[in-house]
Structures are given as C-alpha cells and as structure tokens.
Amino acid sequence: MDPASETSVDLIAALQRLPARQRQATILYYIADLPIPVVAERMGLHEGSVKAHLAQARKRLRNLMEVRHV
C-alpha cells in the first residue's frame, strides 16, 4: 500500500475512534465543507460548542495519528 493510501486508512480509523459529536462535527466541517453556523444548526448546538468539539477532535486525531506513525 502506498503511503498516501495508508495515511487515508489510518485517518478513517482514527475518525471512527472519536466520540460521536466530535466525529460528526469533524465530518460536517472538514469533509462536507460546511461553515460553523451550519454545522451548529445541523447538530443542534451553539457555535462555540461546535468549535470546542472541533478543537478536541483535532487534538485527539493528532495524538492518534502520531501513535500510529511512531
């Protein structure tokens, strides 16, 4: 498997390990490319809560990806 494919597989696995709200916010914001107000509306949350979920998800994904590549 080439490195890019391996990284994609690792990222998908890491996304699956996120708590549901962090995963949903991450997918809507980064993959579906929706702005934070729309993500907040779809999730029934305040914008600040979405930002917090995204920050927590980034931190957790960073840690998960680092562990996989050590």
Residues of the chain with pLDDT > 70: what percent? 97
Q: What tokens appear for 17 in the block?
A: 């390990």
Q: Domain ranges in the chain? A: 3-68
Multiple choice CATH, 3-68, 3.40.50.2300, 3.40.80.10, 1.10.10.10, 3.90.1170.40? 1.10.10.10
Confidence class of residue 8 from pLDDT cuts 50, 70 and 90?
confident
Which pLDDT score is estimated for 58?
Answer: 98
pLDDT at 5 over 90: no
Please state the pTM of the whole predicted model. 0.88
Q: Given this model, what pLDDT does residue 69 score? A: 66
